[in-house]
Amino acid sequence: MVRSGAVEYHSPVPQMLITPLPKNLIDAIADAGVDLDDVAREAGIDQEALESGVTFAEAGRFIGVAWRRLDDPAFGLRAGCVLRPERYGISGLTAMASPTFGAALQRKARYNRLVWGDIYRIRQDAKEFTVAAEAPDESNPWGYSKVDMEFASLLTFGRRFASAAMAPIKVALRRPRPSFVALYEQIFRCPIAFAQPINSINFSQADALRPLISADHRAAQWLEFGARAALEQMDDGSVTPRVRAQLERMLQGDEPTLAVVASELCMS
């Protein structure tokens, strides 16, 4: 659980790890009239692998081709409003089973990497619950659109499972002011600032504490177990060698503790 004022960090994912693309994103691309088979063929990947798992490099190639064919800079906003719970991956299902909207956002942040998601940081105080999105691929033409999709999908989730009237307090985006500002205002229904230092969406604590109609404690336990296992499997190839190397360096002196090793690696 993220305590008041705390920040939750997540490490970047190596390009060779396998992850499925978000099914709702695939649906949104297809709904826009793009031929998934043809895009996958041009990107040099198996179309069936889009849902079973592709490398991050392959995902980037697929999205690059699809983005060119979509030719819609506002696509991220539109895709983020597509909500088909039956198409959720394990991170979305775990969030859906959470007791409150805030708990769902925390779980979404924890497991977002399982579905080619951006890295989230969460900060909260007595009044606000803030989600900031790290977007390492903003240099790509779809980078800003990916953040749009992330934030619009979080809000769409909250409106579907917590309160239809929910609106953020404010949204800050790194992207320059686009031509389709009216669409942002229509979706978020709150003040939106562009060309900001970070990408963030702020909810009130009252909204974060709203119970979800989909809450299921028993299902959440099983889903979290599966999500943690999947995340550990994903991280094993990147974290284990780093821990081993750090231990070898530290064994020259006193016996290292888990806390010291984690501190040296800038991890929890």
Q: Can you give the pLDDT at residue 194? A: 97
Burial class, 66, CB count within 10 angstroms (exposed 0-12 / middle 13-18 / buried 19+): buried
SS (H, E, C) the chain: CCCCCCCCCCCCCCCCCEECCCHHHHHHHHHCCCCHHHHHHHHCCCCCHHHHCEEHHHHHHHHHHHHHHHCCCCHHHHHHCCCCHHHCCHHHHHHHCCCEHHHHHHHHHHHHHHHCCCEEEEEECCCEEEEEEECCCCCCCCHHHHHHHHHHHHHHHHHHHCCCCCCCCEEECCCCCCCCHHHHHHHHCCCEECCCCCCEEEEEHHHHCCECCCCCHHHHHHHHHHHHHHHHHHHHHHHHHHHHHHHHHHCCCCCCCHHHHHHHCCCC
Phi, psi for 18 (deg, rounded to 5): -95, 135
Over the stretch 56-66, which tens digit does the pLDDT of each residue have? 788 889 999 99
106 within 8 A of 1, measured Cβ to Cβ: yes
Q: In which residue ranges of the chain is pLDDT below 70?
A: 1-18, 117, 135-137, 235-268
Q: Can you give the pLDDT at residue 81? A: 93
Round to whole Å and give the CA distance between 134 and 139: 13
pTM of the model as a whole: 0.79
Q: Can you give the pLDDT at residue 57? A: 83
Round to whole Å and give the CA distance between 14 and 9: 16
Q: Can you give the pLDDT at residue 9? A: 38
Round to whole Å and give the CA distance between 219 and 151: 25
